[in-house]
Structure 1
Amino acid sequence: MRELFENSRDLIAEINTSFIRPLATQIDWSWRLNGIIGARGTGKTTLLLQHLSTTHGIGEEAVYISLDDIYFSSNRLIDFIKAFRLKGGKYLYIDEVHKYPEWAREIKNVHDLYKDIQITFTGSSIIDILKQDVDLSRRAVIYELPGLSFREFLLLSGIKEIEAIPISDLVKNHQEISMELTKDFRPLKYFEDYLTYGYYPFFLEGTKSFKRKLKQVINLVIQTDLNFIEGYDPKNARKVNQLLYILASNVPFKPNISKLSDKIGIHRNTLIQYLHYLEKASVIHLVNPEGISISTLQKPEKVYLRNTNLAYALAPDKTNIGSLRETFFISQVQPIGTLNIPMNGDFSFEDRYIFEIGGQNKGRKQINELKNAHIVSDEIERGIDNRIPLWLFGLLY
């Protein structure tokens, strides 16, 4: 147990707090039970350690632990918390909860028994709080940490500091916003770098090794994280890898489920379930038509990779500029609201706006008669009328 505290102190002492994700200010840290979920590699552990460092420092009242530590292979979490409390502990930051089979039940018991203990936990985005064998939904407030936006990438890289822009302001005032920002800033100079390696904070460890590390992250998702989904058969990991390569080579993918299930060698219902699993693991986006309720047995209208970095890592010889544009748009907009596929246009956002994505010469033909419809154009710095630069959508969070 002493080693866990020493490890916590070492990590807190070493953590860099010069850049902190905006989610840190949105979390109500005074709430007694918070959960942070998100894809591997997006910075959940860093967020915990930064808050520990800036709020508690190195002391006895707060500690960081990870439930994939070998200590918890033969020791119960609840026993550790009892001992921690007896030593004056109050604030517990728990990483990788999904690696510990009884995590939900034991955290629920601690929450109900000890009113003086505050817990913040992190876990893979595959975690479904509502489907645990105990009810945490009334106790825990859950936050999701997406990957870096283009805005955060610019800030973290030391290129430019820009405030996040609400989508309503962006749509209404994009001409003035883009004109002001580009007085001394060339966004397209950095845009391709972001598409290639800017979504995951670990690009700071070196861009040359970035693709290799990202492939390792995806392998861990398929080989490890998906095993925590009820009903998932780990023997099909190779087939999930095959599915993911097909998707990466053909995005945006409009799935023919029968042909795809024959090609991979799994039942069509199993294939649809695996698509939903990969979405829960934040590897892909499933986009459905307007007015269609989402079901785990429903075939999606289109399948996109979660972000453009995955395209360059998984199928670099298959990247397509049109697909990259749409994937970028989804990755930047989906964290702030719901996107669907309308009758006309590429995407609708919260039934408020319709967007058609394309290059600088993209025409209005498909959305000409529609209200609140806008062209989103790559390869332009500044907008005009209802033509909005694509890069601006990277400033939403």
Structure 2
Amino acid sequence: MDRIKLSQILYRWNPWWEGKKPVMPEFKRSEYFHIQKEISNKKISVITGPRQTGKTTLMYQLIAGIIDGGTKPSQVLYLLLDDFIDEIEKGNLTLREILEVWSEDILKERLTEGKKIVFFDEIQVYKKWSRELKSLISQNYPIKFIASGSSSVDILERTSESLAGRISRTIIMPLKFNEILRFYVNNDIWTEKIKPLTVSLTKCLLKGLSENKPDIFFREMSKAYKALLPIEDIIRIHFNKYFKKGGYPEIALQDLDRFQSFSRLKNYIDSVIHKDFVNFFKVRDTKTLERILKLVSKNTSQIIVERGLAKDLGASVNTIRNHLGFLESAFLVMGSSIHSKSYAKKIRRPEKLYIIDIGLGDVLAGYDDSDNGKIAETIVHNHLEFIALSNPIFQFELTYWKNNREIDIILTHKSKSLPIEVKYGKARNIEAVKDFTEKYNTWGIVISDELKQEGRIIFVPIHLILLLQ
């Protein structure tokens, strides 16, 4: 690719060089502030997560913030790798050559001179990206790299072994309910009433677990309940919408009717299956993959046996296992293993599987009122999983417990385990939770329609547990 044509493409993708600052939503996800703090360090900031969760929007918001902070616009470069991958794979272009054209022809300086910030969008399309970046970093260029990819952290780790210790990862998942509240409620209400509670509730949950004192969490939850009573109706209205629409930003943050939401999510599913899985995972049997995804959606939060799934779909167990792995790698499905200290038992026993987003699951499976219990458990599980993925302070593992009875979720933090049973619309039977608390000397949480404490079990309304941050 000649330098003039390359410069023209760069100008098209970087309008701020000509004074046209990107117009971005004012609403910023918490990950924005996390990555903003990384701008000054030398690590490569890698943003991963499902498609359509706002990674590109986040990049543009960061660019706008960097320019507002006083950085010269031409010192900020955004590259969509899809635009260059054909020439790169033919050997006609390298990332270094792109950066040199930008530096020499636009900035009028050498690559070694002046501070620069480079954004690579959809980095996973280029298999050798880590090798090229390692070469650039090893020469100590004054460049901060920020990259996004729609493949899983595991895949990015495998393709970036040469950058071990040089990468900081941020995972962007569909919106949690507390983020949707932040978008819709009055800013003063959020800042003064809700925001302080989101962090304190999580801290008190983990402190109560660590010290084996349920009262610590119950007192903080009671405080939250009383503080939010004046806006409880507003919270419930938005929760009911979230329960149906899920958390993909394009759906959750716009006033779309059911048909519009379905249409956009269906297009999203088709794009992921027929583009990402075919091009990146080299899947040829997309029909089986889509059928697996539909079955997981219909049976979200259920224990799914690979052999049974293979029989139902007329496929081999290996095909089912591989396809489920692809779905987890693309952040469409999340798995939960059985609660056990034995690793062998964990991998031997079947997983519980959860669709990543309820709105997505509704498009695939067509939920009705009989599915409300499964939907509620999926929302609670995914909310906790998203916290663990996004917040390094609150690290915990989620599993399920099954003996003679079953418990939906076991949250384990620093060897302490907390049983969580979701009783949304289901008969009130908490014997399994009681058994677990006695066996493991702990306390438990039951998601129900009221806030109260009975001994070592705390009952919490679902919209309150979703305030955990």
When normalised by structure 1's length, the TM-score is 0.90
Alignment of 1:92-111 (within 5 A): 92-111=118-137
Q: Distance in 1 between matches of 2:329 and 2:351?
A: 17
Match of 1:62 in 2: 76
Label 1:383 to 1:85 Cα distance change in 2 as closer, same or farther (>3 A).
farther
User: Runs of 5+ in structure 2 lacking a partner?
Assistant: 1-6, 88-92, 110-114, 206-216, 389-395
CA RMSD of aligned residues (A): 2.6
Match of 1:339 in 2: 398
- The worse-fitting range, judged by mean Cα deviation, of 295-304 and 178-187 is 295-304
Match of 1:358 in 2: 423
CA displacement, residues 48-86 of structure 1 (integer Å, 9 cap, x when unaligned): 1101101125711112111112x4422332211222333
Post-superposition offset of 1:38: 0.6
Match of 1:34 in 2: 45
Of Structure 1 and Structure 2, which has the larger fraction of its residues in helix?
2
Post-superposition offset of 1:115: 2.8
User: Runs of 5+ in structure 1 lacking a partner?
Assistant: none
Q: Distance in 2 between matches of 1:133 and 1:123?
A: 12
Alignment of 1:1-397 (within 5 A): 1-9=7-15, 13-27=21-35, 28-32=38-42, 33-57=44-68, 59-69=73-83, 71-74=84-87, 75-86=93-104, 87=107, 88=109, 90-127=116-153, 128-132=155-159, 134-158=161-185, 161=190, 162-163=194-195, 164-165=198-199, 166-169=201-204, 171-172=217-218, 173-186=220-233, 187-203=235-251, 204-208=253-257, 209-227=260-278, 232-291=281-340, 293=343, 300-317=350-367, 320-335=371-386, 336=388, 337-343=396-402, 345-350=407-412, 351-359=416-424, 362-369=428-435, 370=437, 371-377=442-448, 379-380=449-450, 382-385=451-454, 386-397=458-469
Label 1:247 to 1:97 Cα distance change in 2 as closer, same or farther (>3 A).
same
Post-superposition offset of 1:295: 11
Q: Distance in 2 between matches of 1:107 and 1:295?
A: 40
When normalised by structure 2's length, the TM-score is 0.77
- The worse-fitting range, judged by mean Cα deviation, of 307-316 and 278-287 is 307-316
Between structure 1 and structure 2, the one with the greater Rg is 2
CA displacement, residues 238-289 of structure 1 (integer Å, 9 cap, x when unaligned): 1100111122122233223223213323320221121122112111111101
Post-superposition offset of 1:354: 1.1
Q: Distance in 2 between matches of 1:246 and 1:179?
A: 41
The amino acid that maps onto 1:286 is G
Determine helix, strand or coil for the equivalent of 1:182. helix
**Count of residue pairs brought into register by the alignment:** 392
Q: Distance in 2 between matches of 1:175 and 1:19?
A: 29
- Calculate percent identity across the aligned residue pairs: 21
- Regions of 4+ moved over 4 Å: 294-299, 382-385
Contact 2:410–2:417 (8 Å) recurs in 1:
yes
Post-superposition offset of 1:123: 0.2
Match of 2:4 in 1: none
Label 1:338 to 1:227 Cα distance change in 2 as closer, same or farther (>3 A).
farther
Contact 1:249–1:318 (8 Å) recurs in 2:
no
Determine helix, strand or coil for the equivalent of 2:354. strand
